[in-house]
Amino acid sequence: MPTRNAPTGASVLSRALEAKGGEMPPDGARFILNLGIRDEDKRRALDLLAKQQEAPLTAEEGEELESFVQADNVLSILRAQALLALKKAGQRP
């Protein structure tokens, strides 16, 4: 019997957006395109990535880094959906 990987937050969100079936309004799409990870969070994620190159991260640091990765994945999915919504509406980002 084939095994399935556990769903990630990003994959669940992607399926939820598809399941709703409605079109994202252009104003909502533009709002999403303006979202981003804060500079201090980017710096922390980069610090953790650099540390990981030198030595293994602690369990807590690994979880923190994974949280940054998941947040970035979710934002990427939302941005892709927003760009698609604007394209379908005949508007430019």
CA distance linking residue 18 with residue 22, whole number of Å: 8
Rounded to two decimals, the pTM is 0.76
At residue 92, the 3 state secondary structure works out as: coil
Number of domains in the chain: 1
The amino acid at 82: A
Q: Is residue 3 part of a domain?
A: no
Element containing residue 76 per DSSP (H, E): helix 59-88
Question: Does the pLDDT of residue 68 top 90, yes or no?
Answer: yes
Residue 32, domain extent: 24-88
pLDDT 10s digits, 10-44: 677 667 766 566 678 899 999 999 999 999 999 99
Question: Does the pLDDT of residue 3 top 80, yes or no?
Answer: no
Q: Is residue 75 part of a domain?
A: yes
Whole-angstrom Cα Rg for the chain: 17
Q: Is residue 93 part of a domain?
A: no
Element containing residue 13 per DSSP (H, E): helix 9-20
Is-contact 82 28, C-beta < 8 A? yes
Question: Does the pLDDT of residue 1 top 60, yes or no?
Answer: no
